[in-house]
A and B are shown apart, each in its own frame.
Chain A
Amino acid sequence: MKLKTLMLGAAAASVLAPAVQAERGEDGNVNIIYWQAPSIMTPYLSGGTKDIEAASLVLEPLGRYDETGALVPYLAAEIPTVENGGVSEDLTQITWKLKEGLLWSDGSPVTSADVKFTADYCMAPEGGCAQFAKFTGVESIETPDDLTVVVNFDKPMPNPYGPFMGGQSPILQKAQFEDCVGAAASTCTEANFNPIGTGPFVVDEFKPNDVISLSANPNYRDPEKPAFATVTFKGGGDAEAAARAVLQTGEYDYAWNLQLAPDVLASMAEGGEGTPVSAFGTLVERIEMNLTDPSPDLPEGERSTVAHPHPILSDEKVRRALSMAIDRELLVEVGYGQAGRATCNLVPAPELYASDNTECLTQDLEGAKALLEEAGWTDTDGDGVREKDGEKLSLLYQTSTNAVRQDFQALIKDWWRQIGVETELRNVDSSVFFGGDPGSPDTFQKFYADVEMYANNFDGTDPQSYLSMYRCGNEPKPSSQWQGENINRFCNEEYDAMLDELAKTGELEKRGEIAKKLNDMLTKESMTIVPLVDRGRVSAHSNTLGGVVLNTWDSELWNAADWYRIDE
């Protein structure tokens, strides 16, 4: 009951709660459009956001993050913590208790064996589980009784909420997936498309990369929910068309992730059929500086490796000048509007971990010029581009293909031109840019450019693994087939030492302090990473759809059970 009151409260904040007693399925059909079409209904085999969110209508984890990032129990009776004894003092064990009387949509009871099976399924070798990282450190899982699951870790885990928490690791039914473990995972088409779950809806028909038809789960734990009898979950098209279908024609009730220029979205919202909603998470659009030399003159295998420091960007003053020349508020206005905030932080949220670093927010072209002069870059031949030792201050700036990113490129190129920096722009198809093909020169890991721009975030609310990406030696390099997360090739012993300390610290206040320090070392102290915009998520719902609470910490459809139709 605690959960229900919590959610009703959230729903009531936006609209008056439905007056009469609700009844399951009384509100008919709801249409959802995702412009990327889901291809599979289990998050374990795909990892794509679209698939995770589609699956969240059917499959549920033990607990989810709510719109503030707080933990909310779903299948679990409560969230285990050190205080309530659910997490052991030494942080190596977490004990989950399932709610009583939970049923799968086929009517069989949910037991701790299903939870344990889910972990076995994902950790099986050769399965290629996309959420494997959620289960790092899991040593063993015990099921003392039908409702209790004990997870043992091989070392202290300050954040023990990896397994079974959030849309990425929901619980699968053991009976259904038993024969699908490991290499057999891809032979189970039927189970992968029509998983039996505990969520508010069940799949009636799954057309991969096209449309999913769902109907209310007859065994859902709250007899009054969901209000909708059926769901049509359409995929395909583009963000613009999805926005149009909700805001202008009213054909659809909910559209996901509308990455559109703010003026386009605003003029569509004048259609009056729906409302855009936005919320902020941890996604930060940033410019990454290459600390190594990407020159094509170097032999293959040495370009962009630590063997050759960058001839221009190794100088901290140059990096700082480049950052000072950028007007982040204007970028937000042009590219994101309500769905963006200028930021100087790599970790913009949650509050506990967000540094109060704001000095980059004011553009300072004169200061940038002075810094470049100080660094020895002067325009000696009067062509508007600075030189030093016969070398021009000329940069190659790459990013993925996307209308907003190309606008950003044009604006930043213009500011850099004003401080005497010549910029060549390049945009790369995102399936190549974000792919890890070691044979391609255009991946973001290979970084055959001087600066590059993209966005990244972290799952859940804990930034430890996110900050650990910038550890020495974790850089993409030929010996690791160009896999690696330290994109800038940043290396600082002090940083690494603090990371080790963070991994040992359990106390939240202390963790926040260390994380802020780490964030500052990467951003304002060294300007290795130049954050631009804290990107929110914009979605839109029709004016007749109630109960939508946009959540960036978990699946957007996390509370689809509470959605209802507002009568006009």
Chain B
Amino acid sequence: MLTYAVRRLVLAIPTLLFISFVIFMLLQLAPGDPMAQVPLTVPPEVKQMMREALGLGEPPLVQYWKWLVQVFWTEPKVLVDWMTSETALFGWLPDTQLYQDELRVISWQTRSPVMEIVLQRIPQTLWVVGMSYIVGVLIALPIGIYSAYRQYSVFDQAGTFITMVGFSIPPFFTGPLLIVIFSVQMGWFPSIYDTTHEVTDWASFKYQLSQMIMPVMVLALQTTAQLSRYMRASMLDNLNQDYVRTARAKGLSEAIVVMVHVLRNSMIPVVTVIALGVPAIFGGAIITENVFKVNGIGQLLITALFANDLPMVMTLTFIFAFLIVLFNLIADILYGLLDPRIRYD
């Protein structure tokens, strides 16, 4: 398993390079222009000058090479400098000064380093999207397990109904619906997420909770619906297997039969779905973030896409690709732990 993991990690490098190249060419092919949001009152000659100032005139391969150098060489240097000067972990090391004012990955919209904006967005993304994911998983697993164990009970039917309706109603409807009910009619929660809010004491923590609760609920509903369905289906497959009968026959308690034997064998599809969902957290939740004005990474990506801010889109999708490759590897390793019969080599 260890050699497998190492081999996969090494293989990940060419994979990621290839993925980044495909994404880059895709973005080059896509129609669109960073000048689309500049008003029509600005004459075309001026727009052309602005494009040239952004480096758009260069051949695509040159642009790609520059981006590669910036991401794999310049940005790590900035990161090392920051770690040795600012963080507690490496602060004791002498301050390295590797970064010598080379050009970093610069966003076309803001003319500032992309990575700094990404770092700025991570807190709200983790608070809202990450929290909703945890909430979703924590609700979904018990629902799935119990629904399967008591198949066709009232609980199962109600669970099926709610999760399926919840899944088929898109967040662009549930979001405004919650706002109308809880912000406009009841006045309980704010409809606009305050990204400048800092949690310092109990009162501010309560405010943070009140502004998180609606987006978290909307997102958790989607996660719960999806996960609990897979959990239930997979449990059902296993509950009728011979080994379950054997386990019961040898006198194991029902709790151990279900929670240890059946659950462990049912986790493979669930682990896959959970692992696929983690990168999506960092990808943000585009619609929900927009509805509640959370302005996390999802909103960053969609505004960058609409503004055709290629360096930003490129960097974000690359981070996203990196996480996908990483978490799929983690999922593969987990398969091996859950079911020792699975062998890769």
Q: How far is the CA of A11 from the CA of B196 in the complex (A)?
A: 32
What are 15 A-B interface contacts by the 8 Å CB criterion? A39-B303, A40-B109, A40-B110, A40-B112, A128-B50, A185-B111, A207-B120, A234-B192, A236-B299, A241-B176, A433-B36, A435-B31, A435-B308, A441-B31, A442-B31
B-facing residues in A179-196 (Cβ within 8 Å): 183, 185-189, 192-193
User: Given known contacts A211-B196, A241-B291, is B184 in contact with A249 (CB within 8 Å)?
Assistant: yes
Q: Is B226 an interface residue (CB 8 A)?
A: no
Q: How far is the CA of A453 from the CA of B40 in the complex (A)?
A: 14
Q: Is B317 an interface residue (CB 8 A)?
A: no
Q: Chain B, interface size: which category?
A: 35 or more
Other A-B pairs, 8, CB within 8 Å; known A39-B307, A193-B112, A431-B33: A209-B303, A241-B179, A248-B183, A249-B183, A431-B36, A435-B34, A441-B31, A485-B44
Q: Which residues of A contact B255 (CB under 8 A)?
A: none
B-facing residues in A24-51 (Cβ within 8 Å): 33, 37, 39-40, 45-49
Q: Is B295 an interface residue (CB 8 A)?
A: yes
**Shortest CB distance A195–B (Å):** 13
Q: How far is the CA of A241 from the CA of B36 in the complex (A)?
A: 24
Q: Which residues of B contact A465 (CB under 8 A)?
A: 43
Q: Are B112 and A241 in contact (CB under 8 A)?
A: no
Kindly supply a per-residue 1/0 record for chain B positions 1-42, scoring 1 wherever the CB is within 8 Å of any chain A CB and 0 otherwise.
000000000000000000000000000010111111111111
Q: Is A415 an interface residue (CB 8 A)?
A: no
Kindly supply a per-residue 1/0 record for chain B positions 303-322, scoring 1 wherever the CB is within 8 Å of any chain A CB and 0 otherwise.
10111100000000000000
Q: Is A459 an interface residue (CB 8 A)?
A: yes
Q: Per a CB cutoff under 8 Å, which of A37, A193, A441 touches B303?
A: A37
User: Given known contacts A47-B42, A192-B111, A435-B32, is B307 in contact with A483 (CB within 8 Å)?
Assistant: no
Q: Is A84 an interface residue (CB 8 A)?
A: no
Q: Chain A, interface size: which category?
A: 35 or more
The segment out of A129-137, A317-325, A341-349, A509-517 that lies at the interface is A129-137
Q: Is A13 an interface residue (CB 8 A)?
A: no
**Shortest CB distance A338–B (Å):** 23
Q: Is B329 an interface residue (CB 8 A)?
A: no
Q: How far is the CA of A249 from the CA of B189 in the complex (A)?
A: 10
Taking beta carbons and an 8 Å cutoff, which residues of A are in contact with B? 33, 37, 39-40, 45-49, 126-133, 183, 185-189, 192-193, 205, 207-211, 213, 232, 234-238, 240-241, 244-245, 248-249, 251-252, 271, 430-437, 439-443, 454, 456-459, 465-466, 480, 483-485
Taking beta carbons and an 8 Å cutoff, which residues of B are in contact with A? 29, 31-54, 101, 103, 106-107, 109-113, 116-117, 120-121, 176, 179, 183-184, 187, 190-192, 194-196, 290-293, 295, 299-300, 303, 305-308
Q: Which residues of A contact B194 (CB under 8 A)?
A: 211
Q: Are B192 and A251 in contact (CB under 8 A)?
A: yes
Q: How far is the CA of A244 from the CA of B120 in the complex (A)?
A: 27
Q: Which residues of B contact A457 (CB under 8 A)?
A: 40-41
Q: How far is the CA of A551 from the CA of B61 in the complex (A)?
A: 46
Q: Are A207 and B53 in contact (CB under 8 A)?
A: no
Q: Are B47 and A483 in contact (CB under 8 A)?
A: yes
**Shortest CB distance B181–A (Å):** 12
Q: Are B106 and A186 in contact (CB under 8 A)?
A: yes
Q: Are B40 and A434 in contact (CB under 8 A)?
A: yes
Q: How far is the CA of A437 from the CA of B308 in the complex (A)?
A: 11
Q: Which residues of B contact A209 (CB under 8 A)?
A: 109-110, 117, 295, 299-300, 303
Q: Per a CB cutoff under 8 Å, which of A49, A237, A466 touches B293?
A: A237
Q: Which residues of A contact B43 (CB under 8 A)?
A: 133, 465, 485
Q: How far is the CA of A187 from the CA of B305 in the complex (A)?
A: 22
Q: Which residues of B contact A435 (CB under 8 A)?
A: 31-36, 308
- The residue in chain B whose Cβ has the minimal distance to the Cβ of A433 is B36
Q: Per a CB cutoff under 8 Å, which of B37, B112, B176, B293 touches A48?
A: B37
